[in-house]
Amino acid sequence: MADGFLKKYYEHLHKTPEMLYGFFKEESVIRWDGVESSTTTTTIDGIREIIMSSDYKGCEVKVVKVDAQFSLMESVILTATGCSLEKDNVKRIISQTFFLAKQEIGWFLLNDNLHIIDTQEILNVSSSCFDGVSSPHESLKEAPITAKITDNVEETLEIANSIKETLEVIQIASKEPDTPNDTEKVEG
């Protein structure tokens, strides 16, 4: 279900953005971030206006990862992460979360939250993530985080994954070692 929804949603966004509002109802809420601004609105007319005035309309999206789970009353929470290629050939990393509310037949899009990730902002945040944090691995804080800006989407994703892996290593290394509790101790 999730893959089918995403395929239709992003196909409409790319080819027929003026029809994208058909996924929503009057009570739906949409919030689309941009690199410099974000907009939240409700009502079909407001949603149509955001879609049609957005730089995001008409872009191509390549989904790299999908997470979906059932929620309240058979609704579905869905997160898609990937890259967008906008009309002016600007490539951005995106994360989009949807809440698909169950209705008599199928689902409708109750919430649509798009975050366009500014890679420079991520680099600035990640380089200062551990300021003032006491860690047994202080040397990890000193490791420079570097980035290469590229026009190649796959290379951009490799860079993003590398940053993610680096942050995971730092997080794992800064955890206190587990100490066994009484039930885990080996008798001897």
Q: 150 pLDDT band (50/70/90 cuts)?
A: very low
What's the rounded Cα separation, in Å, for the pair 55 and 51? 8
- Of 33-37, 78-82, 86-90, 144-148, where does the model show the most confidence? 78-82
The CATH number that domain 2-117 falls under is 3.10.450.50
The reply to whether the predicted model has a pTM over 0.85 is no
Spatial CA neighbour of 95 closest among 108, 77, 83, 109 = 83
Domain ranges (residues) in the chain = 2-117, 119-173
Closest by Cα among 68, 82, 78, 79 to 160: 82
